[in-house]
Amino acid sequence: MTFIKPLNHHPKLEKNNLGLTRRDYEGAVSSLCAGCGHDSISASIIESCFNLNIESYKVAKLSGIGCSSKAPAYFLNQSHGFNSVHGRMPSVATGANCANRDLLYLGVSGDGDSASIGIGQFIHAIRRQVNMVYIIENNGTYGLTKGQFSATNDLDSKNKYGDDNLFKPIDLATMAIQLGATYVARSFSGDREQLIPLIMGAMQHKGFALLDIISPCVTFNNHAASTKSYDYIREHNEAVGKTDFVPLGEEIKTSYDEGTSVEVNLHDGSKLSLEKTDKNFDPCDAGKSLNFMREKEKEGKVLTGLLYADSTAKDLIETLNMTETPLNQLDQDLICPGSKILDLINKDLS
Amino acid sequence: MTFIKPLNHHPKLEKNNLGLTRRDYEGAVSSLCAGCGHDSISASIIESCFNLNIESYKVAKLSGIGCSSKAPAYFLNQSHGFNSVHGRMPSVATGANCANRDLLYLGVSGDGDSASIGIGQFIHAIRRQVNMVYIIENNGTYGLTKGQFSATNDLDSKNKYGDDNLFKPIDLATMAIQLGATYVARSFSGDREQLIPLIMGAMQHKGFALLDIISPCVTFNNHAASTKSYDYIREHNEAVGKTDFVPLGEEIKTSYDEGTSVEVNLHDGSKLSLEKTDKNFDPCDAGKSLNFMREKEKEGKVLTGLLYADSTAKDLIETLNMTETPLNQLDQDLICPGSKILDLINKDLS
Amino acid sequence: MHNLKKVESISAVNNFVIKFANVNGSGSASANQMFAKAMFRMGIPVSPKNIFPSNIQGLPTWFEVRVNEDGYLGSRGGVDIAVAMNPQSYSKDVEEISPGGFLLYDSTWKRNFNRDDITIIEIPFTQLCVESFKNPKQRALFKNIAYVGALSALLEIEYKVLETLISEQFEKKPSLIEPNLKALNLGRDYVLENLSFPIGITVSRSDKLENKILISGNEAAGLGAVYGGATFCSWYPITPSTSLAEGFEKYAKKYRVEKETGKNLFASVQAEDELAAIGMAIGANWNGARAFTATSGPGISLMSEFLGLAYFAEIPLVLFNVQRGGPSTGMPTRTQQSDVLACAYASHGDTKHVLIFPSDPKECFDFAAKAFDLADQLQTPVFVVSDLDMGMNDWVCDKFEWDDKYLFNKGKVLSKDDLDEMENYGRYLDVDNDGICYRTYPGTHPEKGAFFTRGTSHDEFANYTENGDINAATLTRLMKKFRTASELVPEPIIEINGKDSCGVIFYGSTSPAIHEAKDLLKEKEINVDLMQIRSFPFNLDVWEFIANHDRIYVVEQNRDSQMRTLIMAEGGISPEILRPLVHFTGDPIQASFIVSKISEREVNYKSHINAKKR
Amino acid sequence: MHNLKKVESISAVNNFVIKFANVNGSGSASANQMFAKAMFRMGIPVSPKNIFPSNIQGLPTWFEVRVNEDGYLGSRGGVDIAVAMNPQSYSKDVEEISPGGFLLYDSTWKRNFNRDDITIIEIPFTQLCVESFKNPKQRALFKNIAYVGALSALLEIEYKVLETLISEQFEKKPSLIEPNLKALNLGRDYVLENLSFPIGITVSRSDKLENKILISGNEAAGLGAVYGGATFCSWYPITPSTSLAEGFEKYAKKYRVEKETGKNLFASVQAEDELAAIGMAIGANWNGARAFTATSGPGISLMSEFLGLAYFAEIPLVLFNVQRGGPSTGMPTRTQQSDVLACAYASHGDTKHVLIFPSDPKECFDFAAKAFDLADQLQTPVFVVSDLDMGMNDWVCDKFEWDDKYLFNKGKVLSKDDLDEMENYGRYLDVDNDGICYRTYPGTHPEKGAFFTRGTSHDEFANYTENGDINAATLTRLMKKFRTASELVPEPIIEINGKDSCGVIFYGSTSPAIHEAKDLLKEKEINVDLMQIRSFPFNLDVWEFIANHDRIYVVEQNRDSQMRTLIMAEGGISPEILRPLVHFTGDPIQASFIVSKISEREVNYKSHINAKKR
Ligand SMILES: Cc1ncc(C[n+]2csc(CCOP(=O)(O)OP(=O)(O)O)c2C)c(N)n1
Ligand SMILES: Cc1ncc(C[n+]2csc(CCOP(=O)(O)OP(=O)(O)O)c2C)c(N)n1
Ligand code: SF4
Ligand code: SF4
Ligand SMILES: [Mg+2]
Ligand SMILES: [Mg+2]
């Protein structure tokens, strides 16, 4: 049973601009359950990095604790990884980001990791506009501890053992928009065509980019009464439209009907082009976007796609007015004021 | 310098239905700075309890750490109080609430306490719909640690020393509505006429009631470049309307123009009646309310008053299907299954 | 059974180790458990241990069962029979088998294992199941029952016992009984028809388990909490403590629901994290309910701040720490006793906490119930410290007992009437001179007894104070309370086995290995006196035992000899007397390890003494 | 000066304690500081201590200044001169004055103090200020400067010195110089015109402070972090550590901004809590920047989980713990040394951390800088453990020094070239057999050197493992690293003062009291040998000192003798040798306390020995 769609006929050993094949972006063999949504997301991350000609060693992979948080071991072998403690990846990512502004920070977390123990750090990483891609592999359950409800699980949805979930879900994408995240998308691990451009867009975005990806847990939350099962999502998924990633320099090929198409500029000059399915939706207007999400939620739909983007915001590094050189590369003579100045300070203190 | 408005000519020793005077609801002498907004809020709490004929000993006062969290010592001397640890009042209140469903739980917190270290607990207390009044004495600063910015401080507002705040604020009222809090109001410590009915309404509400009360810190955040100063709030305050608390049995006296008036039913049969200033606003529709708040925020206004209410929701006690008797009063023979059952269990295990 | 053997096959009755090697998530657990339970039902002491990865599906996982007529139930080491169902781990599994041992594997895919010193038993389980079952899920699942069937023939397990177990297990889904029996017979019949049986290792009905039960420590502790009157549980999932909270919920749902209304006489809340879990438990205890939380290592760290609050504000609290391999996330599915110091001194500032150490599920049950009394009596956090080995594995232990005349001791709590009679109530007045003061619950009295609980320094009336002398007096009283605690906590179990014996101190799940080691050492003419520590603070018996020995091995499953540190720090005991004997791989400690360490050192000691004498 | 005195007035030059009693938030701080600084400028050793409430405005607050020509600068006890400006605390303030002492108060409202054994000096400060200033704020504020002016006449403080201090203070707001001088003269002239002066206590220029500075430990540590190359600070406000992070920021803003661009060569982030603060610092260190966090007691508890991660994953980290009164929220504005155990063993599982203990602001500066080298060399958290007394009060100490030839030691970090030359890189390979392995920073090499950092058990190549032996080997290597650490950390400072002397072990801010006590004991013919412990793990010198003494007093400012526990646990030291001498009121320990405790016990000891001899 596999949910990974075959990639659009790419021959396995195709090379990208760096001369690398997809294999070069792989990681260790996954120890997740066969069919776990998280593995599909890993595959999409690999594909995105391949497409974007990313140098793995300039990526830092960070995570908390959980099945989802194990995932970074299963892609980008040449990247440093940091599997930190439960729910605290955002702070580690923030510090790492400040220490070296030149890497691409890829955070991977679970719904337990981010919506419960880690929600404070999640919120404050957004508030600070840490320049990172933050992926939530959202399965509505605590996979690694065997199937307890997570805080993103829907009210009255049931667990594997038939118990009702008694509490309303926290919608992390809504929360992120509300808090000023500058790139927010929701997607589904099983829909790689939608997911890959969204990941690519997030990687090229400057600032905090959230991807809330429904990622079914085949072992604990894929039954009939679950609202995070493959079947449920396939049925209730409603995309805001079709998203394409348009690399720097390339032109948008398809011309959409007037009013239905939006372009989102990304930091490096590349673009996301979105063919909207609904005129009322506008991913550049947070208020409208939130309303649209609320509406769709009422209709019982899971709205996916690029929900909000703002490519003009400052990231933390800018806000803190940091030097261009990564802090971890500053020479001693730049950062140690030396004895002469110490003499002056001594004088002031006497 | 005092910011406490004189109460509407109540003679000091007036008695309520319990035969108690306002003095009976007082606490220790405040050690907060003269003019601190928190003291005004304490006074409004006293007034509300007096008005509602509350028996102090059936109230539990809970708080975290901060100037605001000290406040519970300064009202309701006959109530048990619990000054817990920084940011963790919500969990203590949740446990206390489960142990004895019969008390009124009054949580008092600061913006540092709730929006930073405590935001996770804040969110999850809302999600669980803990039956409590949660007051945030919001001054945009860390009073007790001497004036650092808090996470509710507005972008580009300045601290006492002239430094810019670099980050966007977290709006706890918006967040609470988003998360499903069933009673959400914003008010201003200096506006007791608005504040008292809102507190009374919160006390009669069943479920999680949030009061986000702007409460200026005269010592560290009351300067010209602050957006949480008395002057700023007085200028930018825009009320959603006039709120009256209508006790059980009494009729609403004023008849408002059609479309401008809303009634909110409270758990015990009392009501809040709201004369709205704007027809577009509806405190019973979360979506509309959020939009209205967003709009006013854009206009640079601080929207105050009852922002959202839903008196139909289940609270945690109901959700957990708990017995009517407070758990702390259950007799041993009800909770200890005894030796006969243990024999059966032993049999099952052998 | 068609190999030529160079080594003689092991031959034993009711005394062997069998290890099942499976794939995680493949449904082997219930078959394996059935095997263990069958031993139990035949009256033979048995100790099954799950050796599982921190993973959900697809990785190797093992189930090791020691069967021992003499009742030695600690981990033994060595494998006499391997049931190898996972090609991923074949090489390791086969290597582990003792010379003369047996290998049973799924010969649907034949293999050559390069071991001519063991007996290889080939049964094509997959093939048999494919032939007998249509549903692919069942085909996979029933392989497991089939090997139990095969073993029943090979080892002479009473068929009736297995049959009963199956019908009990599927009491509520009777349609499953028949296919399970079919699978059982599939394996059994294959042996009966194709192989020579029994093998040299067999089982035979015994009578060693009268008044015994088979249960995990976590389930026992969860049940103990129900009996101890806990009405509120707040917890956050973490291996290996999750099943404790779940155990509480399971029994509470069964025995704690109001019949008339269907309403719960308890509440259990899955918190958003450990800080909230302990905060809720503190709030509930403050409010007079018996409340607890359960966690493991990382949770203890996260709960440190709140623990200091409960200590200093004197709020009862019961905390179960089911220890796992540390430090950090460490080895979540392995066992250790490495949180002793973290618990004893949890939180900044001068703090000391009461710990109790159960050593088997019976004590998990007893101590769980007792912990609530202790916490209420002492108005302080009480940690019940167990570990993964005892918490998650089924252990044979004595039946649970309950005295219906026993009344909960809720400690010093004033009622409305008490307050009415009092002149001058002070929350922190040491009226009885035992360091323990009188509480009131919120809502007790309209005018009297209210106070303000706080983690800041306070005087005897719970008022905030910055007076250093008053605060020092509070801290000193807390030390007095800790001395009072030493008289209330469970005393050690001491066993004196001769004159001039060396002492052995141990605690918790080390118990079975120690008792076996003691007998083995005796065979080597080394007598050891045992002291099983069951609590901190230590009571007088502990100091007396120590004073009566000139050398004591402190056996622990951690690197840093943490209990030894506690003993030295608290008792002013000379370090030369207390000799660390530590094991910290994360696997349960074995008697043989203890024997080798002690005998080596005792031999040295004796030759040293003799040299002196000469 | 119009009282009849029964007791003779105290008469002293450069040797007294003066205590200013003020109202919190009334602007007295800068006047009080000016007084202290004036002493310093006159070359007289001085130690000001702020005794403040955990409150912002309106409560009593005190500023106690000891002036001591001999350089004894620990808290002394007793008050020779009280400047009582707060009627709220009059009774306490007046009571404290030693017989023969002086009381200066604001006689705008006259009082009768019922003490005829002290000299009462009445100056109507409020009235004077009301008459001289129009602005109500200034009227209130300038009372403070006025009493400094009065003191300048009463004690003969050099006027010029005060004048200079004022003009320096308002260098950037010169318009304020004149009114301040006016206020100064208001008090001064009142004395000169109306009272007899000087009083019996006076000051006189001295030369004891050559090469000395006056600074708080927190500011010194913040500056030390700048010099040590810290580029990232993440912190959460908490008394008394806040001013350390602020100190770092202040100096970084001054000396760490790129001239050409105005951009910062550092970053400082106020985190949302302590868990985030340490997480950020760990993330930055992992990524190769020198990063730290600063906190106090409750923060240590909250950081426990992350500390275990940094220990086990071997990530450098510098953590400043400025200790305050515990447990729990405790006494946030009082001093203690009660987090020693919480730091040393922070986190669950087997963990041990490196601690260094500065004893004055000079060491705060030095150790702050050194901590970054140590953390990088050892790849582990390094705690700089100070306290409120030394952290928030200005102390006289040696001038700071910096050797421009000194190069940061970044420890074992592989460059791209290093990696190119390597065959087989393993993050946790103990290549040098010192327990310390080689790191790589992310982004170093396109193909080599990447690894996966984790808090779960791992092998030498940073791969996840559940193999118990491998994990035990890692834990054992970490012990080896800890031994290596003992060779790198600051050694103790030992002072031997005679044969057969008893030993005294102390650390941190206890230093001034100890040195005074030593001299006082000598006067009583009790010789003590001193050892100032400056680090954990302990190095050989520590053990040698202990071995050379048969009785050692371990002087600590906590209840539980925490350092003594550490010494016993780590060194296997006999407890009878180590005698606890503790003080834990939250006020700084005093020489007189130490003297009385030691002399009492030494007298007992000697009579005991003599009895034996006889
Ligand atoms: C402090 C702490 N508490 C609890 C745990 C146990 N734990 C491990 S993973 C996990 C939940 C993971 O859920 P989620 O983040 O949704 O990841 P998933 O496994 O579902 O992908 C928990 C509670 C832990 N490792 N650390
Ligand atoms: C764990 C912990 N961290 C830090 C502190 C220090 N602290 C005390 S009060 C406070 C902030 C209070 O701010 P806020 O909640 O806004 O209250 P306010 O004083 O402004 O009313 C902080 C950080 C603490 N007591 N505990
Ligand atoms: S348990 Fe669920 S989340 Fe974890 S690996 Fe398996 S399918 Fe994925
Ligand atoms: S510091 Fe600010 S918040 Fe605190 S008491 Fe004073 S005015 Fe109020
Ligand atoms: Mg999940
Ligand atoms: Mg505040």
Q: What is the CATH number of the domain that holds D184?
A: 3.40.920.10
Q: What percent of chain B has pLDDT over 90?
A: 87
Task: Look at residue B131 in the predicted model and tell me its pLDDT.
Answer: 98
Residue in D297, D313, D468 closest to C348 by CB: D297
The answer, yes or no, to whether any atom of ligand 3 lies below 6 A from the CB of A41, is no
Q: Say if CB C294 and CB C270 are below 8 A apart.
A: no
- Cβ contact, residue pair D280, A102, below 8 Å: no
Task: Look at residue A261 in the predicted model and tell me its pLDDT.
Answer: 85
Say which CATH number the domain at D519 has: 3.40.50.920
The pLDDT tens digits for D203-254 are: 999 999 999 999 999 999 999 999 999 999 999 999 999 999 999 999 999 9
Instruction: Tell me the sheet residues that pair with B142.
Output: B148
- What is chain D's mean pLDDT, rounded? 96
Q: What would the mean pLDDT of D105-129 be, rounded to a whole number? A: 96
Q: What percent of chain C has pLDDT over 70?
A: 99
pLDDT above 80 (res A217) = yes
Task: Look at residue D575 in the predicted model and tell me its pLDDT.
Answer: 82
Q: What percent of chain A has pLDDT over 90?
A: 87
B98 in reach of chain A (CB within 8 A): no
Nearest CA in chain C to A152: C272
Please give the order of strands across the beta sheet that includes B237-239: B237-239, B302-309, B183-188, B208-214, B132-138, B104-110, B59-63, B80-83, C452-454
The pLDDT tens digits for D280-333 are: 999 999 999 999 999 999 999 999 999 999 999 999 999 999 999 999 999 999
CA distances from B137 to B113, B131, D543 (A): 10, 19, 54
Task: Look at residue C571 in the predicted model and tell me its pLDDT.
Answer: 85
Structure tokens at C410: 């809720």
Q: Which residues of D touch C89 (CB under 8 A)?
A: none
The pLDDT tens digits for B151-196 are: 999 999 999 999 999 999 999 999 999 999 999 999 999 999 999 9
Q: What would the mean pLDDT of D272-277 be, rounded to a whole number? A: 98
- What is chain B's mean pLDDT, rounded? 94
- Domains contained in chain D, number: 4
The answer, yes or no, to whether any atom of ligand 2 lies below 6 A from the CB of B47, is no
Decide yes or no: CATH 3.40.50.1820 for domain B22-319.
no
The pLDDT tens digits for B51-79 are: 999 999 999 999 999 999 999 999 999 99
Task: Look at residue C499 in the predicted model and tell me its pLDDT.
Answer: 85
Alpha-carbon distance of C446 to C293, in angstroms, equals 32
Q: Which atom of ligand 1 is nearest to the CA of A139?
A: 20
CA distance B149 to chain A (A): 13
Q: Residue A130, SS3?
A: coil
Same domain, D476 and D375: no
Domain with C454, as residue range(s), is 416-488
- Cβ contact, residue pair D345, C350, below 8 Å: no
Same domain, D119 and D185: yes
Task: Look at residue A5 in the predicted model and tell me its pLDDT.
Answer: 41
Element (H, E) at B109: strand B104-110
Task: Look at residue C605 in the predicted model and tell me its pLDDT.
Answer: 86
Say which CATH number the domain at D246 has: 3.40.50.970
- Cβ contact, residue pair D347, C342, below 8 Å: yes
C327 in reach of chain A (CB within 8 A): no
Task: Look at residue D4 in the predicted model and tell me its pLDDT.
Answer: 46
Task: Look at residue B6 in the predicted model and tell me its pLDDT.
Answer: 43
**How does residue C259 score in pLDDT terms, banded at 50, 70 and 90?**
very high
- What is chain C's mean pLDDT, rounded? 96
Instruction: Parse chain B into domains and list their residue ranges.
Output: 22-319
Q: What would the mean pLDDT of B134-145 be, rounded to a whole number? A: 98
CA distance C226 to chain B (A): 7
Residue in C56, C59, C273 closest to A144 by CB: C56
Question: Cα–chain-centroid distance for residue B278?
Answer: 24
What's the one-letter identity of residue C177?
I
Task: Look at residue D31 in the predicted model and tell me its pLDDT.
Answer: 97
Structure tokens at B78: 């006959």
- Cβ contact, residue pair C213, B339, below 8 Å: no
Query: Token match 């995932």: residue?
Result: A71
Q: Which atom of ligand 1 is nearest to the CA of A113?
A: 15
Same domain, C115 and C169: yes
Q: What would the mean pLDDT of D374-402 be, rounded to a whole number? A: 98
pLDDT above 80 (res B12) = no
Alpha-helix residue ranges (DSSP H) falling in D211-339: 217-227, 242-255, 274-286, 297-313
Q: What percent of chain D has pLDDT over 90?
A: 94
For residue D370, with 0-12 CB atoms within 10 Å meaning exposed, 13-18 middle and 19 or more buried, which class applies? buried
Same domain, C446 and C538: no
CA distance C173 to chain B (A): 18
Q: What would the mean pLDDT of C563-575 be, rounded to a whole number? A: 89
Q: How many CB pairs under 8 A join A and C?
A: 50
- Cβ contact, residue pair D264, A55, below 8 Å: no
CA distance C120 to chain B (A): 34
- What is chain A's mean pLDDT, rounded? 94
Q: Which ipTM value was assigned to this complex? A: 0.97
**How does residue A123 score in pLDDT terms, banded at 50, 70 and 90?**
very high
Q: What would the mean pLDDT of C183-200 be, rounded to a whole number? A: 97
**Does residue D270 belong to any structural domain of this protein?**
yes
Q: How many CA atoms lie within 13 A of B106 on its CB side?
A: 31
Task: Look at residue A254 in the predicted model and tell me its pLDDT.
Answer: 60
Nearest CA in chain D to B67: D55
Query: Token match 């310093």: residue?
Result: D40
Residue in D209, D286, D400 closest to A82 by CB: D286
Nearest CA in chain A to D39: A350
The answer, yes or no, to whether any atom of ligand 2 lies below 6 A from the CB of B145, is yes
Same domain, C375 and C432: no
Same domain, D136 and D92: yes
The DSSP result for C442-474, as a single string, is: TTS-SSS---EEESB-B-TTS-B---HHHHHHH
List of chains touching A (3+ CB pairs within 8 A): B, C, D
**Does residue D171 belong to any structural domain of this protein?**
yes
CA distance C270 to chain B (A): 11
Same domain, D148 and D17: yes
> Which of A114-128, B271-285, C117-131, C507-521 is predicted with the least confidence, judged by mean pLDDT?
B271-285
Task: Look at residue A2 in the predicted model and tell me its pLDDT.
Answer: 31
- Cβ contact, residue pair B128, A167, below 8 Å: yes
D424 in reach of chain A (CB within 8 A): no
The answer, yes or no, to whether any atom of ligand 3 lies below 6 A from the CB of A219, is yes
C408 in reach of chain B (CB within 8 A): yes
A82 in reach of chain D (CB within 8 A): yes
> Which of A7-16, C27-36, C557-566 is predicted with the least confidence, judged by mean pLDDT?
A7-16
**How does residue A142 score in pLDDT terms, banded at 50, 70 and 90?**
very high
**How does residue C159 score in pLDDT terms, banded at 50, 70 and 90?**
very high
**Does residue C147 belong to any structural domain of this protein?**
yes
pLDDT above 80 (res A148) = yes
pLDDT above 90 (res B258) = no
Same domain, C522 and C484: no
Task: Look at residue A249 in the predicted model and tell me its pLDDT.
Answer: 79
Q: Say if CB B228 and CB B140 are below 8 A apart.
A: yes
Query: Token match 């071995």: residue?
Result: D547
Q: Which atom of ligand 3 is nearest to the CA of A110?
A: 3
- Cβ contact, residue pair C330, D457, below 8 Å: yes
Task: Look at residue A54 in the predicted model and tell me its pLDDT.
Answer: 98
The pLDDT tens digits for C328-353 are: 999 999 999 999 999 999 999 999 99
Structure tokens at D95: 């009571």
The pLDDT tens digits for C493-503 are: 999 998 889 99
Residue in D328, D466, D575 closest to C331 by CB: D466
Backbone φ, ψ for residue C137 (5° rounding)? -65, -45
Pick the residue whose CA is nearest to atom 5 on ligand 3: A32
Domain end point (choices D457, D488, D519): D488
The answer, yes or no, to whether any atom of ligand 4 lies below 6 A from the CB of D57, is yes
- Cβ contact, residue pair D57, B34, below 8 Å: yes
Q: What would the mean pLDDT of C585-601 be, rounded to a whole number? A: 97
Strands (DSSP E) contained in D352-507 are 354-356, 381-387, 394-398, 452-454, 493-495, 502-506
Alpha-carbon distance of D508 to D510, in angstroms, equals 5
D275 in reach of chain A (CB within 8 A): yes
Domain end point (choices C398, C427, C443): C398
Task: Look at residue C612 in the predicted model and tell me its pLDDT.
Answer: 75
Interface of B with C in 313-332 (CB under 8 A): 320-324, 326-330, 332
CA distance C311 to chain A (A): 24
Interface of A with D in 119-138 (CB under 8 A): 120-121, 123-124, 128
Alpha-carbon distance of D340 to D323, in angstroms, equals 9
**How does residue D1 score in pLDDT terms, banded at 50, 70 and 90?**
very low
Q: Which residues contact C4 (CB under 8 A, 6 or more apart)?
A: C116
Same domain, D193 and D92: yes
**Does residue C4 belong to any structural domain of this protein?**
no
Nearest CA in chain A to B321: A166
C204 in reach of chain A (CB within 8 A): no
Domain end point (choices D446, D467, D488): D488
**Does residue D359 belong to any structural domain of this protein?**
yes
Interface of D with A in 277-296 (CB under 8 A): 277-289, 291
For residue B19, with 0-12 CB atoms within 10 Å meaning exposed, 13-18 middle and 19 or more buried, which class applies? exposed
Structure tokens at C514: 């120690």
Pick the residue whose CA is nearest to atom 9 on ligand 1: A66
Task: Look at residue C4 in the predicted model and tell me its pLDDT.
Answer: 46
CA distances from D609 to C558, D523, D604 (A): 42, 21, 9
Instruction: Tell me the sheet residues that pair with D104.
Output: D83, D121
Same domain, D139 and D228: no
Residue in C301, C330, C454 closest to D456 by CB: C330
Q: What would the mean pLDDT of D78-83 be, rounded to a whole number? A: 98
CA distance C238 to chain A (A): 6
Structure tokens at A72: 């970074």
Same domain, D150 and D230: no
- Cβ contact, residue pair B100, C289, below 8 Å: yes
Distance D2 CA to ligand 4 centre (A): 42
Q: What would the mean pLDDT of B247-272 be, rounded to a whole number? A: 79
The pLDDT tens digits for D490-519 are: 999 999 998 889 999 999 999 999 999 999
Distance D24 CA to ligand 2 centre (A): 19
The pLDDT tens digits for A154-173 are: 999 999 999 999 999 999 99
Same domain, C181 and C224: no
Residue in A95, A321, A342 closest to D264 by CB: A321
